[in-house]
A and B are shown apart, each in its own frame.
Chain A
Amino acid sequence: MWGAWSSRTAVVGLALAVFVVCCLLPSGYLLAVSLGSATGLSALLIDARQRQLLSTTALLGVGTALVATIIGAPLGAALARVTMPAKALLRLALAAPVLFPPYIVALAWTYVCSNWIYTPGAAILVLGLVFYPLSMLATEVAMRRVDGRLEEAALLVAPRARVLRRITLPLVGPAVLAGGLVIFVLAISEFGVPGLLRVRVYTTEVFTAFAALYDFGRAIHLALPLLLLCLTVAAIAAWLVGDRLVTTSRPVGVRPVAFDDWRRAATTSVVAVLTIALVLPIAILVREALGARGLGAVLAGSREAIANSLWLAAVGATVVVIVGACLGYTRARAGSIGGRLADILLVVVFAVPSTIVGIGLIGLWNRPGAAGTVYGTDAMLVLGYLARFVPLTALALAANVRYVPVSQEEAAAVGGAGWLRTMWRIVLPQVRLGLAAAWMVALIMAFGELGVSILVAPPGEATLPIRVYTLIANTPPSHVAALALLQAAIVFLPLALLAAAMRVRERR
């Protein structure tokens, strides 16, 4: 439709090139090098103990995804469809738990409950309470896109509960599942929280190969079963979703049905979740931080790190969303087989442990010549963000673009617009909400990124998480709590500003 020599070829081609260089090459070339070595494929076999660890990891991942979805999805639905006061503020507050590094939240909980906290169940709960905002956001965006006519047609013959269950939920199902998949990957990539809570997971094996054994080859080989696990789960998810995503055949715009009958239940849930997931951990951390002495100097010295983090995270989030949008668009318009393969690839790339990405980036860019001039600058951090987060935003934005029917693009094409104009005037305006959400998630993740950053950050005050983590080695817990609160507060600011600027037009 757009022709071979159009702006689409140029833009999408560029985005794909960036994806290959930034997301695939770092880990890909490490993988090729290590598989090519003598020990090669025989190392892929893992022993019984490691298999046990892998199944624990899978359980942790699935459990966290379930808990986060059970908490987050109804909240997202409520934010989309139930009248509540000060909704923008509520949304911000409900999303706030994801601003805290999971390790810190787990630490806070260990201060108050020292018995049952050291169990896999507790780990699942803690991680679920940290990651549920992702499910909430995904659900809300999807719910707002549901064609009201489809629900109204059902309301004529069925009560609200049934409509919700049989019509609305299946329509948002794919988006919720996608959110759950992302949370699964995030959960199994965690080794800080399981380490603290003494839950034995497979990811620690990969980590040990680096940190204790300094064996890159072995670490990469150990990572493969983990990636295989993600591939399996992603494939299952893709099969479950199928191509059921509905593209509306009539223009969207009928106000989606409100489910105000459940207002009281919604309000209660919101209060409960806010208390447990946000208020309580903050209270614990604040109480801990109040005992801090000599904190003033530490905080004052953080100014440069704070400025760097904000700036780099903003630049990173912007670049990530731009590349992710191009890739997401391409995926959304791809055929069903190609599209599903792309989904699986994106999930697997997202699952590559950050350490491997970091080592790969060093190997790729730390060489004489043009690449070497990039190495040693802040650009490496942005490259790290691209490597880690483009797959995530691509998946999210693909889901959003699928809600814009192809016929609208065709209408624009026939009406005389080139591809760029069509994107700018027709497609992008309709996925504004998704773009904003993706940018915010990318900002949060980039801001809190540690695994890659610690390997590629140039000397000097690079980012706030690096500063915090290098400082908390051997400082009293009061300082740890204070610094964690600082980090969360800092990243909260741009989000609050953005949310205020957006002022999502509430229909109720």
Chain B
Amino acid sequence: MSEPHVSVRHVTKEFGAHRALTDMSLDVTAGEVVVIVGRSGCGKTTLLRLIAGLEVPDAGEVWLAGRQVAAAGRSLLVPHERNIGFVFQDLALWPHLTVRQNVEFVLESGGMPKPERTSRVQEALATVRVEELAARYPHELSGGEQQRVALARAIVARPAVLLMDEPLSSLDPDLRTTLRTELLRVQRASHVTMVYVTHDGEDATVLAHRVIEMRGG
């Protein structure tokens, strides 16, 4: 692999007086899982948001699959065109849509015909083992079930890059172990590039090809 799949080059990001990232660089090769550990507030989430295009770096560049997507102070490619899956820290499931609709929404935007969409959604739901919950609403699910739905939504479009922000942080140890194993299985099967942020060292041990420790700023 010559060209890194995800490349963050010397980015700096400030929010007012608070400096979240200083001259941060990171290269992730295709199919690699990078786990970033560090205390809360050290900029891990900001890094993910920069890669996704939800923030713009004050300095530095972001490259995806050999193409520059962000330069200092401006975005060169909008998030919905970056082919990225994102599991948010607060999950951000849409409360007025069922589980199936939550997942299907991602495919609708791409203009996929209905039969193909249905089968893909089914596949994604099966992967995370929530098929029986397809007609339920997010508020009717447990924390672990919601986590899995968020994951299904992130992988259904077969993105090139999967960004995960502390996706297991609020679950009990047993559930965490189960889901971690599933994640591992999904990633090893699909070879999706993954950047995974956590403060739990166990996640790093199980999932990572490479672990990066971040300290504040």
Contacts and interface: CB of A to CB of B under 8 A. Distances in A.
Q: CB–CB under 8 A between A and B in the complex?
A: yes
Contact of A410 (B85, B88, B108): B88
Q: How large is the interface on B (under 10, 10 to 19, 20 to 34, 35 or more residues)?
A: 20 to 34
Nearest to A427: B94
Given A1-B53, A411-B86, A418 B80 contact: yes
A254 interface: yes
B54 A415 contact: no
B203 to A, nearest CB: 21
A254 B142 CA distance: 12
Contacts of A407: 88, 90, 92
A408 B92 contact: yes
Contact of A2 (B78, B108, B146): B78
Contacts, number: 87
Contact of B137 (A1, A253, A414): A253
Given A254-B139, A429-B96, A418 B109 contact: yes
Interface string A237-261: 0000000000001111110000000
Nearest to B111: A416
Interface in B81-127: 81-82, 84-86, 88, 90-96, 105-106, 108-110
B79 A413 contact: yes
Nearest to A411: B92
**Listed residue (B75, B94, B110) with the most chain A CB atoms within 10 angstroms of its CB:** B94
B54 A413 contact: yes
A56 interface: no
A1 B54 CA distance: 5
Contact of A3 (B78, B146, B157): B78
Nearest to A419: B80
Contact of A417 (B84, B91, B93, B105): B105
Contacts of B81: 416
Nearest to B170: A250
B153 interface: yes
A429 B105 CA distance: 14
A415 B109 contact: yes
Interface string A400-442: 0000010110111111111001000110011000000000000
A425 B91 CA distance: 18
B170 to A, nearest CB: 9
A414 B75 contact: no
Closest 8 CB pairs of A and B: A253-B139, A407-B92, A416-B109, A415-B106, A3-B78, A411-B92, A251-B95, A417-B109
Interface of B: 52-54, 75, 78-82, 84-86, 88, 90-96, 105-106, 108-110, 137-140, 146, 153, 157
12 contacts: A1-B78, A252-B95, A405-B92, A407-B92, A413-B54, A413-B79, A415-B153, A416-B80, A416-B110, A417-B80, A418-B109, A421-B109
